[in-house]
Structure 1
Amino acid sequence: MHKAQSIPHAAKIFSGTASEALAVEIAKHFGCDPGKLSIQRFADGEISPNYLESVRGDYIFLVQSTYSPGDNLMELLLMIDAAKRASAYKVIAVLPYYGYARQDRKDRPRVAIGSKLVANMLTAAGADRIVTMDLHAPQIQGYFDIPVDHLDSHAVFIPYIEQLQLKNLTFAAPDVGATNRIREIASYFNADMVICDKHRKRANEIASMRLIGDVEGRDVVIIDDICDTGGTLAKCAALIKEKGARSVRGNDYAPSVEW
């Protein structure tokens, strides 16, 4: 008897409406075009994705950030379900931005753990693997029972900061939660670090902030993982300038801005 030959699985890249430009760039890097996908929206807001080409037996990469999380997350879940029902071999959800990541624990009574719920929904929809980056807390990976590739944007920003050639470099954590992230980068540059310790009355509203460490005459780079209103970065930058820093830059996993 002849041994059956395995058929190689093709890889196809599709995009939701939240990450079309990124999906085009990713596909271009691999010398192809994004797959053809139609996403219909009914008058009541209902979303209906439809693959316009066969995905049977293929690796399907679905590129979709979940901000603002509601519609884009639902769109991704339906894209996953449609791909599984169309007999895709593997469905890999690529979330450059993972919505609800800030809700990663019960930090006060009677609240949801939103990032765990999102993990459950992605798994239940049929995702075989998750690719995401710069999670608010790395332990969110443990909410999944499927493989997670957690990418780190340090590979992009460290060379950028190096080419700035700042002589008195200091890194600033905009809150205590960012300390570990900043310590790793600061140790790479053999640079000092400071911490902006903030206290909130409620979400998106900072009641007070104080600086732990010395920034006198220093070139400071603030690094955070999420920028919502920008209030934390602005207040942190103002405080650092007030304490005598020579320059302040912000890298919120977005292009560098100098204040």
Structure 2
Amino acid sequence: MKIIKPNIIFGDSNLNFFKSLLKIFNIKMNFIKIEKFKDCEYKIQFLKKFNRKNIFLLQSLSFPIHDNLINLFLIINSLKRICVEKIFLIIPYFCYSRQDKLFNENSPISIKLISNILDFFNIQKIITIDSHSNNFESYFNTSLKVLKSTSLIVNDIVKNNLKIDIIISPDIGGVLRAKNLANYLNLELVIIDKRRPISNYIKIFCVIGNVIFKNCIIIDDIVDTGNSIIEVTNFLFFHKIKNVIVYITHPVFSQNSFIKIINSKINKIIITDTINFNIFDNKIRIITTKYLFIEEIKKIMLEEYEI
């Protein structure tokens, strides 16, 4: 059987993650050169001809968000100009996914604008993981695959023999995600009823379920300032919970918020590598999502080349 390596290039973000993914396919280098002028404009150059090829383009849209967005758009535009046949776009962290609705009468639906731009480029397929809500998927005309981190979390719980009594959704919006995990583990689901009257501020009304003297897992897709997850944790300990472990898919951790989280009452924080994170602490552990994306690349290769 002929072994066909995928053509993979990546943008200017989360470099360690993308390099480790390329290593699995025994790809030695990124065939794209990305430079910046003094005023931070990007200059894109390809180091290999990709004419009429299928390309996997990897880019995580984390901080600095707008640099990474422009970087992505320039690379896609360049690929289109050299007549690449199909672009499969892998975006582990998708910025603006939280802005999937009107916040007031005059506000934009920001994720819709991003999706419109990507639709314009006629991408073959977009692959991401753990979108913030179901609304996110409805804004794309491009074929979109949203992977789930549930299997990674289950494997991690089993591998580390974690003692868990209940699964907690930190808000109503995360119930489906938490329910899927609770079903996998055959555990009770507990829901925190909290509201966000203004940005970066929450008000907790009640906990739906019994948490007294329980070991729990809180599962969340994005943690930004950390204020919400810390408030929820404090609320749980006030209601006599025993132990809190938090699983986070996208550790945005803006403005050094991880320091607040480390110093909080949370017993353990497990994050994934969709966003680059280089701070080491006994309280934090990282699990990789790369094998989920690798499986998707392999599936596409099988479909495209009928291997």
Q: TM-score, normalised by structure 2?
A: 0.76
Q: 1:105 aligns with which of 94, 98, 101?
A: 101
Kept in 2, the 8 Å contact 1:14–1:60? The answer is: yes
Q: Which residue of 1 aligns with 2:303?
A: none
Q: Of 17, 23, 28, which aligns to 2:23?
A: 28
Deviations 1:122-143 (A, max 9, x none): 1213422111110001342232
Counterpart residue number, 1:89 = 85
2:231 to 224, 228, 235: 235
Partner of 2:278: none
For 1:5, the equivalent position in structure 2 comes to none
| Alignment size in residue pairs | 251
In terms of Rg, which structure is larger? Answer: 1
Cα distance in 2 for residues equivalent to 1:86 and 1:210 = 56
Distance 1:44 1:127 in 2: 29
Task: Tell me the distance in 2 between the aligned counterparts of 1:220 and 1:168.
Answer: 6
Counterpart amino acid of 2:70? M
Which residue in the other structure is 2:52 paired with?
Answer: 57
Contact 1:35–1:53, Cα closer than 8 Å, also in 2: no
Task: Note the alpha carbon deviations across 1:197-222, whole angstroms, 9 max, x for none.
Answer: 22223211224453222111111100
Residues 252 and 10 (structure 1), Cα distance of their counterparts in 2 relative to 1, 3 Å cut:
closer
Q: Do structure 1's residue 128 and structure 2's residue 109 form an aligned pair? A: no
Provide the rounded CA distance (Å) in 2 between the counterparts of 1:58 and 1:166: 46
Report the equivalent of 2:43.
Answer: 48
Indicate conservation of the 8 Å contact 1:221/1:250, yes or no. Answer: yes
CA contact (8 A) 1:116 1:143 kept: yes
Which residue does 2:246 correspond to in 1?
250
Higher-RCO chain (CA-CA 8 Å, sequence separation at least 6): 2
Query: Helix, strand or coil for the counterpart of 1:32?
Result: coil
| TM-fit CA distance, 1:84 | 1.2
Give the CA RMSD over aligned residues. 2.0
- Contact between 1:11 and 1:58, CA under 8 Å: does it hold in 2? no
Alignment counterpart, residue 186 of structure 1, candidates 182, 188, 198 = 182
Please, what TM-score do these two structures have when normalized by structure 1?
0.89
Q: Distance in 1 between matches of 2:160 and 2:173?
A: 26
Q: Distance in 2 between matches of 1:123 and 1:9?
A: 28
Unaligned 5+ runs, structure 1:
1-7
Identity of aligned residues (%): 28
Match of 1:67 among 40, 62, 71: 62
Q: What is the rounded CA distance, in whole Å, between the counterparts of 1:235 and 1:41 in structure 2?
A: 41
Q: Is the 8 A contact 1:16 1:63 kept in 2?
A: yes
Give the unaligned 5+ runs of structure 2: 252-268, 271-282, 285-307
Q: State the 4+ residue runs in structure 1 displaced beyond 4 angstroms.
A: none
Asked if 1 retains the 8 angstrom alpha-carbon contact of 2:10 and 2:18, the reply is yes
Check conservation: 1:13, 1:34, Cα contact below 8 A.
Answer: no
Counterpart position of 1:152: 148
Report the residue type matching 2:179 in the other structure. Answer: R
Determine if the alignment matches structure 1 residue 197 to structure 2 residue 197: no
Shift of 1:107: 4.2
